[in-house]
Amino acid sequence: MEFKIIPQPSEITVFSSESAFFFSDETQISCPDEFSRALDDLVLFSQKVFSINLLGGGKEKIVFSKSDEIKNKEGYKISVKNNNIFIFASDGAGAFYAVQTLKQLLLQGKNNLPEMEIFDLPQCAWRGFMLDSARYFFSVEAVKLFLDSMALHKLNCFHWHLTDDQGWRIELYNKLLLAQIGSHRSCTNFGKTPHEGYYSKEDIEEIVSYASEKYISIIPEIDSPGHVVSAIAAYPELSCFNRELEVETKWGIKNDVLCVGKEETYDFMFEILDEICEMFPSKIIHIGGDEVPTVRWKLCPHCQKKMKELGFENESQLHGYYLSRIASYLEKKGFLVIMWDSKNLDHSVSKSVIRQFWSSDEAGKIESRGDFKLINSSTDAFYLDYPYGHTNLKKCYEAEINLYSDNCLGGEACLWTEYVPSMKKAGYCLFPRLAAFSERVWCKRENLSYENFVSKIPQYKKLLDTLPFDYASMKQAMPSFFRKHCYNLWFERRRLHWGSLHNTIDNFKVKKLSKKEKTND
């Protein structure tokens, strides 16, 4: 029989068609303590999906063993023969990924497996998924479901976009108003309904622990100096001209950003970052840094004074200076720092900061910047909230990971949620594209075949049915010419209408306001 595993393992060999192992309540297990997370995951899945309680007593055995022959920590070997499944790994992560593969084998073999062998290891160290909890708040249970789906796809880095203009979603004892005020949005873009929610300390602890059971690191993102209207709503003194603002109701790039001329802004940020660092054990933090209009800085006496002191000629240098200070503060605490690649940013931010690139215009610039470490979140392929008319399944599958640099750590699929206000829509956007993405970041290049991938989709959907997610049909994921253009028209109409038009009007108003305030200052 042919097994159809996603992501495709490096090598899979089936030696015979006869059953060599039958999975049942009586299957015995042997597992070293350090692989207990892998075993727990198998036990839970067996109960939930096969109604099998592993009580032992039979002749079949699943034997987990530590083997230093498996060099990659996330790699594993599975060998099925003579009523045994042997699982070899050098680390718990590898054993855990072996279990993810075993789930698919057992589902497809209907609990029977022939004599077979699988060797497997990932190609990319960074296999990320980003969830925007700022534009749309997902409950703790919903976040756990995203983590479950990441584990099934052998993804290992959960980038959590926790703050943005439209919402501050994390409770901080140092600055209580951030969550108390910043998490309430009076009206959303489309639903025109109020929206709110934030994660308490206990929620974060619960999610961090849940992710760690699945070998997933959580990378919190505290986005600044742009995308901070929700923070300014709570603490107006963070902005130039101490603006009294409401948590943003519309989407798009906002002119009100942090006042980086005031020293108090840095003190504020360091204080909140201290607290964030204590909450997330991954020791990796994302500082955002993208989409920072400078209209305020150009008019603000504090920002202009700072530029003069530092001998800067343009606001882009000020942007670089701010991010450098934030990054080096975190690096001194032993954190690895990531930022979005950002338009017009000068070269001052340290090379040790990883750049996550998204827009193809910007990536071109990175190339000329040389040897930064990169994460690929190309909008063309890995922004999974984009309509299938823009990014169909094949485009996502065939995207190049090592764009622009040999220093690419891997890829990250992003789910921005301004237009994803439900789990139903999230499922539709993510699946099956997350499968294509997972194969792209896990598989050896020579094993990538879109035709083979598509042939695996029916079996893959049975795997997905073990989670309560919706997914797009193949017709939706690969829209016809007509449907493609309908989707695009709808998408562009929304972007044009709400993004560009709203921002143009807003820019005009802000310029007038700033002039008035400057005269009053």
Is 162 a residue that touches Zn ion (CB under 5 A)? Answer: no
Q: For residues 459 and 464, give the distance between their C-alpha atoms in angstroms, rounded to a whole number.
A: 9
Q: Compute how many residues bind ligand ACM; rule: CB under 6 A.
A: 4
Residue with tokens 């950002």, as numbered in its chain:
342
Both tokens assigned to 281: 């054990």
Find which of ligand ACM, Zn ion, none residue 240 binds, CB within 5 to 8 Å per kind: Zn ion
Is 259 a residue that touches Zn ion (CB under 5 A)? Answer: yes
Residue of the chain from 340, 372, 382, 428 that contacts ligand ACM (CB under 6 A):
340
Is 109 a residue that touches Zn ion (CB under 5 A)? Answer: no
Q: Per CB under 5 A, which region of 55-63, 195-203, 302-310, 382-390 contacts Zn ion? A: 302-310
Is 302 a residue that touches Zn ion (CB under 5 A)? Answer: yes
Is 128 a residue that touches Zn ion (CB under 5 A)? Answer: no
H or E segment to which residue 115 belongs: strand 112-120
Question: Please, what is the minimum distance in Å from the beta carbon of residue 356 to ligand ACM?
Answer: 8
Q: For residues 439 and 9, give the distance between their C-alpha atoms in angstroms, rounded to a whole number.
A: 9
Is 362 a residue that touches ligand ACM (CB under 6 A)? Answer: no
Q: For residues 289 and 357, give the distance between their C-alpha atoms in angstroms, rounded to a whole number.
A: 12
Both tokens assigned to 510: 């802000």
User: 3-state class of 478 per DSSP?
Assistant: coil
H or E segment to which residue 360 belongs: helix 360-369
Residue of the chain from 136, 357, 358, 487 that contacts ligand ACM (CB under 6 A):
358
Identity of the residue, 154 or 159, whose beta carbon is nearer to ligand ACM in the bound complex: 159
Find which of ligand ACM, Zn ion, none residue 9 binds, CB within 5 to 8 Å per kind: none
Question: Please, what is the minimum distance in Å from the beta carbon of residue 306 to Zn ion?
Answer: 8
Identity of the residue, 168 or 251, whose beta carbon is nearer to ligand ACM in the bound complex: 251
Is 290 a residue that touches ligand ACM (CB under 6 A)? Answer: yes
CB-based contacts of 439: which residues, under 8 Å, 6+ apart? 6, 7, 8, 397, 448, 453
Q: For residues 407 and 414, give the distance between their C-alpha atoms in angstroms, rounded to a whole number.
A: 20
Find which of ligand ACM, Zn ion, none residue 290 binds, CB within 5 to 8 Å per kind: ligand ACM
Which residues in 13-72 contact ligand ACM (CB under 6 A)? none
Residue of the chain from 300, 339, 363, 454 that contacts Zn ion (CB under 5 A):
300
Is 225 a residue that touches Zn ion (CB under 5 A)? Answer: no
Identity of the residue, 202 or 263, whose beta carbon is nearer to Zn ion in the bound complex: 263
Residue of the chain from 203, 291, 380, 506 that contacts ligand ACM (CB under 6 A):
291
φ and ψ at residue 63, rounded to 5 degrees: -115, 110
- Nearest C-alpha neighbor of 105 from the set 232, 2, 219: 2
Query: What burial letters (b/e) apply to 302-339, b meaning 16+ CB within 10 Å?
Result: bbbebbeeeebeebbbbbbbbbeebbebbeeeebbbbb
**Measured at the alpha carbon of residue 471, what is the angle toward residues 451 and 206, in degrees to the nearest 5?**
120
Question: Please, what is the minimum distance in Å from the beta carbon of residue 397 to ligand ACM?
Answer: 21
Q: Can you give the binding site for Zn ion, defined by CB under 5 A? A: 240, 259, 261, 300, 302-303
Q: Can you give the binding site for ligand ACM, defined by CB under 6 A? A: 290-291, 340, 358
